Amino acid sequence: MHSTPRDLDTPEAIAELLDAFYRKVLADDRLRTLFVDVADIELETHLPHIRAYWCKLLLGERDGYRRNMVARHLALHARHPLQIDDFERWLKLFRETVNEDFAGPSADRAKTLATRIAGNLVQLTRSPINT
């Protein structure tokens, strides 16, 4: 990574963030189990979609991400109930990763969006329909 923090204002910076973040996710016993064993995610396939998702959120790129993130997480929750601790751990690692190498308006926005995403998914997985 770079010694001087920079903002998450390019696709390359977003890719660096996500590569570092997913290294942490896969090194975390709790999250690795969810991502690898339960969700059966292959990073080579998953990362381009996640990069496109964050480029859409942070850069306004409309062409790359066309999936329903919420539906995918609800389907995962139906197979293996997600716990609030799962989302809290994900969010903690995401914030740590941003703070290590990035600073600026888009980096702040990424942390805000990640907080909202985690909060929304917690609410959806706790609704009466999904319990």
CATH topology of domain 11-130: Globin-like (1.10.490)
pLDDT in tens, 31-76: 888 777 766 677 788 888 889 889 999 998 766 555 556 666 566 6
What pLDDT sits at residue 15?
96
pLDDT of res. 77 = 61
Where exactly are the structural domains of the chain? 11-130
C-alpha distances (whole Å) from 3 to each of 29, 79, 101, 103, 121 are 29, 42, 7, 12, 34
CB 89 within 8 A of CB 28: yes
Greater model confidence, 16 or 83: 16
Distance from C-alpha of 106 to C-alpha of 112, rounded to nearest angstrom: 10
Residue 131 pLDDT > 60: no
Residue 129's pLDDT band, with cuts at 50, 70 and 90, is very low
